[in-house]
Amino acid sequence: METCSGTPDRLSILIVDDEPSMLTYTRALLESSNYAVETASSGEEALRKIQNAAPDLMLVDMQMPRMNGLQTIRACKKLVPDQRIVMVSCVTEISNVVQAIRLGALDYLTKPVFKAELDAVITRCLSVGQAPETEIPVVHFTATTGLAHVDNIDDDLFFLAASPAMKQLRAQTSIIAKVDVPVLLLGESGVGKEILARLIHKLSPRANKPFLKVNCAALPVELLESELFGYEAGAFSGAVRSKPGKFELANHGTILLDELGEMHPALQAKLLHVLQDGQFSRLGGRANITADVRVLAATNIDIEKSIAQKTFREDLYYRLNAFTMNIPPLRQRLEEIPSLLEHLMEQFSHKYLQSKLPCSERLISACLKYHWPGNLRELGNFVKRYLVLQDEDLAISELEERSRLSNVSRAQAPRSNIVFEQGLKSLVRSSRDVTELKAIEEALTATNWNRKMAAMRLNISYKALLNKVKQYRIVPPDND
């Protein structure tokens, strides 16, 4: 698809709005910043223009006749999947904002648009990478800080975005943080779901109010209920005085329900009631308590599988799923490792009063070859161990040994994970799994791990392939 950026140093922006005065006003603001600007007075006209030449960014008004903003965004993303789009509206309607983000919008602006806010949004959206999946990231080991966007959340936590996927996630975070809806955070253990939750809180209007975290897997159901909702004196043996729960303490703030998938279904029903009505009662209490709390939920379980197995309530899922953010594992964003190493080294050397150790190209290369099943948590522990032992050779040899053991485990996985039970059906199912696994691995290898091309080669959907990769725990081979 041709891009309509007139010259290499002038980025192109297409304004889509049915109001001539807004087109003139916004165009003047953009041209004063040296952007190459085009306009369209309808969604249909915008589609014709991007079909000929896709702009670097689109500003799309929500309220247009015939083809509204959401319909325009949907059609544009279908025509140009990588098109960067910002929605513009006279009012901030939560449902429209959430729907626009789901359709692929990177940010939103509220009319009247002011230049400072417009410039900030454009800068942020144009920094979101749209590199194709087959592109090999170029990492400059000697100057990694310029590659990453870093948010310092507190003394111990930071959110780093250097890969296209994480930059897009960061752009979505800046939007969804302002919209007071529940957010479901998905991802493997250790990818940074709590960090993202804290960033959402920090960027939200509730930032100066409490942020509380509850680990739903750490307590039995009876204790978890009292932890969340509190109890009155005499509610149970040992309850000599009343105690407020986390929902009361987080009033006007944010609560993170971590490991939500481990919550007992009986308690899920009470949580659903709280989300619907904003009211609950303490254990042993009769009066209803009202609390204004934004709920963020995090889990690494397969939600759909849990719903099918009746261990997770479907109605609770839909109530929490106003917006879902899926954090990719570290092995899918290896280009971030140099920046992560640098920031972790800075953080831990200061915390443990140690001198910073260099992250040589040899050390970074070893980290890039490892697949990091423990994600950011494992990487952090690796940096701590390297800092304490101060032995680069030992750190690299330990990584190489982990990679070797992991390769052996993966090679044995098809045999060890297939259970041949009694009966012909089980035997057929097991044989099918082996054949399916082999076909997927061959397709991924043949396409150099371009999963979209591999899915086309296998004649299955991209989502189905991702599910199969997760099911069989297939990871990219080491690049020697």
What integer pLDDT is reported at residue 251 of this predicted model?
93
Q: How buried is 208 (Cβ within 10 angstroms: 0-12 exposed, 13-18 middle, 19+ buried)?
A: exposed
Q: Mean pLDDT lowest for which of 67-76, 96-105, 312-321?
A: 96-105
187 located within any domain: yes
Instruction: Determine the angle formed by the axes of helices 361-369 and 337-351, rounding to 10 degrees.
Output: 110
Q: For residue 355, what pLDDT is reported?
A: 85
pLDDT surpasses 80 at 396: yes
Residues 90 and 191 both lie in one domain: no
Residue 58 is assigned to a structural domain of this protein = yes
What per-residue confidence (pLDDT) applies to 92?
63
For 450, which DSSP code? -
For 420, the token pair is 């041949």
Instruction: Please check whether residues 194 and 296 belong to one and the same domain.
Output: yes
pLDDT of residue 60: 94
| Whether 117 and 193 share a structural domain | no
Same domain (yes/no): 209, 301 = yes
Report pLDDT for 418: 40
pLDDT of 200 reads 94
b (16+ CB within 10 A) / e for 315-344: ebbebbebbebebebbbbbbbbbbbbbbbb
User: What's the CA gap between 83 and 2, in Å, rounded?
Assistant: 12
Local structure of 108: helix, strand or coil: strand
pLDDT surpasses 90 at 140 = no
113 and 198 assigned to the same domain: no
Q: At what angle do helices 375-389 and 392-416 cross, to 10 degrees?
A: 150
- Better pLDDT: 415 or 299: 299
294 and 189 in a common domain: yes
- How far apart, in whole angstroms, are the C-alpha atoms of residue 176 and residue 188? 21
Residue 3's pLDDT band (boundaries 50, 70, 90)? very low
Is residue 266 included in any domain, yes or no?
A: yes
Q: What is the DSSP letter of 216?
A: T
Q: Average pLDDT in the 406-421 region?
A: 50
What share of the chain in percent tops pLDDT 70?
A: 86
At 164, the amino acid letter reads P
Q: Give pLDDT, residue 421.
A: 39
Q: Tell me the C-alpha distance between 57 and 71, whole Å.
A: 17
Are residues 189 and 310 located together in one domain of the fold?
Answer: yes
Q: Tens digit of pLDDT for each residue in 259-270? A: 998 898 889 988
DSSP-assigned letter for residue 231: B
CATH code where residue 102 lies: 3.40.50.2300
DSSP state letter for 10: B
In a domain, 189, yes or no: yes
Mean pLDDT of 189-217: 93
Asked which of 1-5, 215-219, 360-364, 365-369 is least confident by mean pLDDT, the reply is: 1-5
Taking residues 396-410, what's their average pLDDT? 76
The predicted pLDDT at position 298 comes to 94
- Give the integer Cα–Cα distance in Å for 340 and 370: 15
Nearest one of 267, 273, 86, 98 to 180, comparing CA atoms? 98
The total domain count for the chain is 3
Of 349-363, 373-387, 405-419, 424-438, the poorest mean pLDDT is in 405-419
Domain of 320, in residue numbers? 177-326
In a domain, 71, yes or no: yes
pLDDT in tens, 19-77: 998 899 999 989 888 899 999 999 999 999 998 889 999 999 988 988 999 999 999 99
Assigned domain for 148 exists: no
Q: Is the pLDDT of residue 144 over 60?
A: no
Which tokens belong to 257?
């329900």
The pLDDT score that the predictor gives to residue 411 is 55
* Final residue before a domain boundary, out of 126, 158, 189: 126
- Evaluate whether 160 touches 340 at the Cβ level (below 8 Å): yes
What's the pLDDT at 70? 92
Task: List, as one string, the DSSP characters of 22-86.
Answer: HHHHHHHHHHTTT-EEEEESSHHHHHHHHHH-B-SEEEEES--SSS-HHHHHHHHHHHSTT--EE
Q: Which of 451, 480, 478 is nearest to 464 (CA)?
A: 451
Question: Does 105 have pLDDT greater than 50?
Answer: yes
**Whether the predicted pLDDT of 479 surpasses 70:** no
Q: Are residues 199 and 304 in the same domain?
A: yes
Band (pLDDT 50/70/90 cuts) for residue 412 is low
Lowest mean pLDDT among 29-43, 190-204, 403-417, 440-454: 403-417
| DSSP type of residue 449 | T
Residue 377, classified by CB atoms within 10 Å of its CB into exposed (0-12), middle (13-18) or buried (19+), is middle
The answer to which of 3-12, 444-453, 468-477 has the lowest mean pLDDT is 3-12
Q: Identify whether the C-beta of residue 471 lies closer than 8 Å to the C-beta of residue 440.
A: no
